[in-house]
Structures are given as structure tokens and as C-alpha cells.
Structure 1
Amino acid sequence: MEHRVKVTVLDKKLFPELQQQYCANPTSGKCPCYNVGDEFIFYRNDERDDYWHMGEGTLVKSGKADEGVLESPGTKHCGEKGVPFCSEAWDAISRYIYSALQGGAIMHGWMNDDKVMISCCNDGTRPVIFKIERIDVE
């Protein structure tokens, strides 16, 4: 059986008080890399291996962009050449994507459905919330 993975951006949070206190750019705002509603489909088979390319070319649906989002120096790479994942997001969710592509239960006993995981990136001032779903293909 082949497995695919769908990653959906559910939400983006912002903690301006933390940005004001700790960030070099205290008004950097919400994450510029993702939009709520973005959907990505990962394949791993004989023809295609999206995991080893950090999701290059996996965006299948774009969500609505936020107004007034500033681009911070650390995120200028987001979206280049079809690579949607910034390093912090990839570090946080790649293990779940890999497990699901292998047919594993993403979070056995934690979620209502073993094929689904809700996770977020590591940016403490503007985290992005992801839904990661294993899709079983006959």
C-alpha cells in the first residue's frame, strides 16, 4: 500500500508582546511563509519523493494571504522554487510526515485518529498550526 500525506495550515498565531520584547524587528508580525488554508500533498514512491526535497512542489492549494505581513530576514527563502517549508516548520513537522509516508500511526493514543496529527512550528512569537494527515492509497 502506498501512503501520501496532506499538510494543511489551520491557523497562524501572533504574540506581539513577545515580538516587542525579544525580536530584532519588533513589528515583524505573522509568519510570511504560510497562509491559512494552504494545502500540501507529499508523495513517496518510485517516481517521486517529496520528503527528501523538503516539500518542493507539494503546494496544491493556496490560502488567503494576510494583509500587512512583513518579511523578516530569516524567512526570505520561503516559497522560493516551490519550497514551502521554512527550516523551523520543517524541523517541527517533518518527523510526522516521514512516519505517515511509511504508513505509521502519527500519534497513536494521543489523537482521535491515528492518521492525524496537529502540530506547530517552533517560532514562539508567531507559530503556524499544521494538520498532518496520512492518506492510504490502494
Structure 2
Amino acid sequence: MKHKVKVTVLDTKLYPEYQQQYCANPCSGKCPVYNQGDEFFFYRDDERDDYWNCGLDTLVKTDGKPDEIAGGPKKPFCTEAWDAISRYIYTGLQGGSIMRGWMKNENTMITCCNDGTRPVIFKIERIDYD
């Protein structure tokens, strides 16, 4: 059995009060590199290794401009997002349980990036196939 991982951007949040209080640019706004609904597929097999390439060219769906999306054809995943989600992607690509006992389905995880003033919420799903 083979495994691939689908990553979907569920939401992008903004906490302007924290940006005003703590950020060098107090009006930096929402995350500029992901959009709600963006979808990515990760494979790790004899033909490609999207994990090793930090998600470069894994974007399969967006309402934005693909060249501006992290994970699109010209950009690897944002480092803050990658730091937060890469372990779940790796686990899924190896066929492991992403979050047994916490989520309703052990092949799914809901998590977010580390940016406290404008976090991006991700759904990560292990998909098994032949």
C-alpha cells in the first residue's frame, strides 16, 4: 500500500490587536502566501519526494495566483508553516497514525502555523492507495 498526504488550508486568521501591539509593521495583515481553500498533495516514492523538497510544487488548487502561493511552482512551504506541519506530513507519508485518540480519524490532523498574529489553519490527511 502507498500513502500520499493532502494538505488543505481551512482558514487564515488575523489578530490585528497583536500586530498593533507587537509587530514592527503593525498593519501587516493576513498571511500573504496562503489562501483559504488552497490544496496540496505530497508524495514520497521512487518518482518524487515532496517532503525532502519542503513542499515545492505540491499546490494542486488555489483561488490565488499559483506563483505567489508557498508550495506552488516557485516556492517551497513557508518555514513557519513547514515547522508546524512537516512532522504530520512525514508520518502520513510513512503510513503512520497522524493523531490517534485525538481526532475522530487517526489519518487526519487539524493544526496551524506558528505565526501568532496571523495563523493559517491546515487540515492534513493521510490517503492510502495502491
TM-score w.r.t. structure 2 length? 0.92
Show the counterpart of 1:126. 118
Show the counterpart of 1:104. 96
Aligned-pair Cα RMSD in Å = 1.8
**CA deviation digits over 1:4-34, x for unaligned, max 9?**
0000000010000000000000000000010
Show the counterpart of 1:82. 74
State the Cα distance separating 1:77 from its structure 2 match: 9.4
Structure 1: gaps spanning 5 or more residues: 66-75
Contact 2:57–2:71 (Cα < 8 Å) also in 1: no
| Residue type of the alignment partner of 2:42 | F
Q: Which runs of 4+ in 1 moved over 2 A?
A: 76-84
Give me the whole-angstrom Cα distance separating, in 1, the residues matched to 2:93 and 2:72. 24
State the Cα distance separating 1:63 from its structure 2 match: 3.2
Contact 2:4–2:43 (Cα < 8 Å) also in 1: yes
Show the counterpart of 2:57. 57
Show the counterpart of 1:9. 9
Q: % of aligned pairs identical? A: 70
| Residue type of the alignment partner of 1:103 | G
TM-score w.r.t. structure 1 length? 0.87
Secondary structure, in 3 states, of the residue corresponding to 1:54? coil
Structure 2: gaps spanning 5 or more residues: none
Contact 1:37–1:64 (Cα < 8 Å) also in 2: no
